[in-house]
Amino acid sequence: MSRRDIQLDDQGRLRHFLTTEGLPRDLLERILDTAASFTGVIEKSIKTVPLLRGRTVMNLFFEASTRTRTTFELAAKRLSADVLNLDMGSSSAVKGESLLDTLRNLEAMQCDMFVVRHADSGAAHFIAEHVGDDVAVVNAGDGRHAHPTQAMLDMYTIRRHKGDFEPLRVAIVGDILHSRVARSQIHALNGLGAGEVRVVAPRTLLPRDVERLGVHVYHEIEAGLRDVDVVITLRLQRERMQGALLPSEQEYYQLYGISRERLALAAPDAIVMHPGPINRGVEIESAVADGPHSVILNQVTNGIAVRMAVMSMCLEGRGSRAEEDE
Amino acid sequence: MSASVHIRGGRVLCPAQGIDRSTDVFVGDGRILALGEPPEGFHAGRTLDARGLLVLPGLVDLGTNLREPGARHKADIVSELRAAAASGITTVCASPATRPAVDNTAVLELVQGQAHKAGASRLVPLGALTAGLDGEHLSQMAALKRAGCVAVSDGGQPVANTLVLRRALEYAATHDLPVMVTPQDPDLTRGSSMHEGWMATRLGIAGIPVAAETVALARTLALVEETGARVHFMRLSSTRGAELVARARRDGLPVSADVAMHQLFLTEMDASGYSTTANVLPPLRGERDRAALRQAVADGVIQAVCSDHQPHDADAKAVPFVAAEPGVSGLDTLLALALRLEDEGALPLLTAVERVTSGPAALLGLPGGTLRPGAPADICLVDPRAPWWVTPEALFSRGRNTPFGGWELTGRVRHTLVDGTPVYPEETAPA
């Protein structure tokens, strides 16, 4: 068994969606194309398609996130699936039941898909390795490792505004070290053939050997933003001040905050993105977040279409568990 | 008292005597009597046909966790000493990191009693360096020594406070006890069990830098210079770490070092796919580190290779990587991997055997690890060509957590003797 292929079946179709790393370009593009077809659905007055009728999707959030969970829930409902939300933070996981035991119990409920958010890197892989063959796992964020649907919605947003990835220079600014979003974006951008991917951060917020992910490293924001077509700024978690990673939010903003003057160094038609929620005045100036270059609000809308695409592709070609039992 | 044994026709390897030749071994009264010709009046109570086999001193393992007392759901002294016997390891140096820790004679007596019950390999107890391994108070080292401890150890829980470490070294030196130290800076290690490198970055796991090892080594070496204490560094993991130890030894400091066998075969790449069997401390590092550690073993900068045996129950590893308990079940694979070091051209066979027999024995002044006449008859007969597939189920240890699952190794133990008595296979000996 090759662990590398855990996401794909024999025909190269998506079985699970755990990471954007190593996915072939045509599959990444198909996710974006499928999302585009669903955007039409969402914008019409009839907001559902029957693709996942009779299927059950379970949202397993071991780490709280109302926003992400809600978009997954909406996406599943628009595909006509039944949705169960389990807030694992207040459930058996806290009472010391092992993840494996929890999983066994939930599998008995005959779900077709688990959407998993967990604080441990690798948790979604772990679950995908241990569920039965007929359950698909979608990673909704695991530790620092991956947040592939977020990355794909960012790719979707970029493609809508910029078209082709090949000529693009993209700068990701901020806490790369702790960011699952950044890792997934880097893999997706490289997988889609983006011209250049940059990361911009102080050394304390960059993981070791990060350039081997296929990025150019910048410590100075002015150099990092020069001539880029896309600026992605990451949320700065408050707890980073505690671990002696940064002296203060003020200093961070002075050195890495996306201000209008700095944005002027980028290409004239550059877009500015942020996975949200925004700390105004910490990683981004309000005037930029609300300004003409910002596509931050579009990102939220696109999230539903991309999650619909991933969910339907993971269950494509699989029989529904409920039907099999009849 | 055990019967006399004639081990006939094997290839006898005894690094302590520089012997590698086909010859016979004669055993009586639990000791090696002679090599080559039988002593006068020798009458074999039992003959072992060793043709086609290697006859080695029983292996001496400096790093094992037997889990008793305190974690018998993982393993126990009887199970692991029997697994050691089946693996050709006749001397097991047991870590004091139990619950309660081996920091007083009551716990020590319990451990020794269980070892006696096992009727298998011999257990050499290591005492705790600090009370409860808390890193704050000295243990009763003098009493522990009187009761049989040959060294004191931090049990894999490094002493964070430099003043306490200094005092512990001074006190141990007062009692002429070697101190076994884990070179690991706790602040640089906390919360992780993966090398800070490319794999950790890819998998989104906090990394442990090489500096976690070098900072701790440098600190301890400075204290060795001042105190003159005899220090053994447990489980090196890096090129730079081995260089620091090499330099200290050149400078004449009384220090030695060992490495876990898995560090000579695996790297950070083995954690790919979040494989929890590769979750170990110190972490598996890069390919260059692995090569440098092999070289350090070859050069004698590292004098001992150990199993770093840490048997676990299935639950400890059936979790996401970061939540898994570190450590491998290493007894079963120690000998076959030592032979493989020769196959891969890393070491001459005699040196490979030395690092798991007389090398570690000499570090702690133990009587085993040699086939010299007069030494305890701790002997292992191995078929060096017998292949076997490593599977968790095939392990004698109760810990199934091997990172070598799926490897094909060669070298199976056929007989193990401790004090001249067969301890493996468990059999009713023919008269």
Q: What angle do CA B233, B235, B239 make, to 5 degrees?
A: 90
**Which is the catalytic residue, given B308, B332, B378, B419?**
B308
pLDDT at A91: 60
Question: CATH 2.30.40.10 in chain B, residues?
Answer: 5-55+376-424
pLDDT surpasses 80 at B102: yes
pLDDT tens for B279-307 read 999 999 999 999 999 999 999 999 999 99
Q: For residues A160 and A139, state if they share a domain.
A: no
For residue B153, what is the enclosing H or E element? strand B152-153
Same domain for A308 and A262, yes or no, is no
ipTM for this model: 0.90
pLDDT at site A17: 98
Hey, is the C-beta of B268 within 8 angstroms of any chain A C-beta?
no
Residues A86 and A173 in one domain: no
Confidence of residue B431 (pLDDT cuts 50, 70, 90): very low
Q: What CATH number has the domain bearing residue A125? A: 3.40.50.1370
Tell me what pLDDT residue A238 has.
75
Q: How far is CA A300 from the centre of its chain?
A: 12
Q: Are residues A199 and A82 in the same domain?
A: no
Please say if the pLDDT value at position B428 is more than 60: no
**Alpha carbons A73 and A34: distance in angstroms, whole number:** 18
CATH top-level class of B57-364: alpha beta
CB contacts of A208 in chain B (<8 Å) are 196-198, 200-201, 207, 209
Looking at the predicted structure, is the pLDDT value of residue B40 above 90? yes
- Mean model confidence pLDDT for chain B: 96
- For chain B, where do the domains classified as CATH 3.20.20.140 start and end? 57-364
* pLDDT score recorded for residue B258: 98
Which residues, other chains included, contact B134 with Cβ-Cβ below 8 Å and sequence gap of 6+?
A: none
- Tell me, yes or no, if A100 comes closer than 8 A to chain B by beta carbon: yes
pLDDT of residue A325: 45
Picking from A125, A143, A210, the nearest residue to B201 by CB comes out as A210
Owning domain of residue A75: 3-146+301-325
| Residue A305 and residue A254 share a domain | no
Q: What are the pLDDT digits (tens) for B377-414? A: 999 999 999 999 999 999 999 999 999 999 999 999 99
Selected for mutation to probe chain A from B199, B279, B322 (highest A CB count within 10 Å) is B322
Q: What is the pLDDT of residues B343-362, one digit of tens each?
A: 999 999 999 999 999 999 99
Chain mean position to CA B93 = 7
CB burial string B50-66: b at 16+ within 10 A, e below: beebbbbbbbbbbbbbb
How much is the pLDDT for B352? 98
| Pair (A165, A253) in one structural domain | yes
- Answer yes or no: do A8 and A137 share one domain: yes
Cβ atoms within 10 A of the Cβ of A295, count?
18
10-residue stretch averages of pLDDT, chain A, 326 residues long: 72 94 96 92 77 94 88 94 84 67 84 94 94 93 96 96 97 96 98 98 95 97 98 86 84 95 97 90 93 84 92 84 51
Residue-level pLDDT at A326 = 40
Query: Does B203 score more than 70 pLDDT?
Result: yes
Euclidean distance between CA atoms B375 and B364, whole angstroms: 15
State residue B406's pLDDT score: 95
Range with lowest mean pLDDT among A246-250, A258-262, B121-125, B259-263: A246-250
Say how many C-beta atoms besides its own lie within 10 A of residue B270's C-beta: 17
Count other Cβ atoms within 10 Å, centred on residue A197: 24
Instruction: Identify the helix (H) or strand (E) that includes residue B333.
Output: helix B331-343
* Residues A98 and A176 occupy one common structural domain: no
Residues A258 and A164 in one domain: yes
Q: Are residues A119 and A155 in the same domain?
A: no
Select the residue from B188, B201, B315 to test the A interface by mutation, using most A Cβ atoms within 10 A.
B201
What's the number of domains chain A is made of?
Answer: 2
User: A 179-218 residues with CB below 8 A of B?
Assistant: 180, 183, 207-210, 212-213
Please give the residue that has the higher pLDDT: either B82 or A44: B82
**What CA–CA distance (Å, rounded) separates B418 from B406?**
31
The structure's pTM equals 0.93
Q: Is B308 a catalytic residue?
A: yes
For chain B, how long is the longest CA-to-CA vector?
69
- SS3 at position A56: strand
Between helices B331-343 and B77-86, what is the axis angle to 10°? Answer: 30
Residues A134 and A221 in one domain: no
User: B207 vs A212: CB contact, 8 Å cut-off?
Assistant: no
Helix axes B287-299, B239-250, angle to 10 degrees: 30
CATH code, B5-55+376-424: 2.30.40.10
In this prediction, residue A265 carries a pLDDT of: 97
Task: List, in sequence order, every beta strand (DSSP E) within B31-95.
Answer: 31-35, 46-49, 54-57, 59-64, 89-94
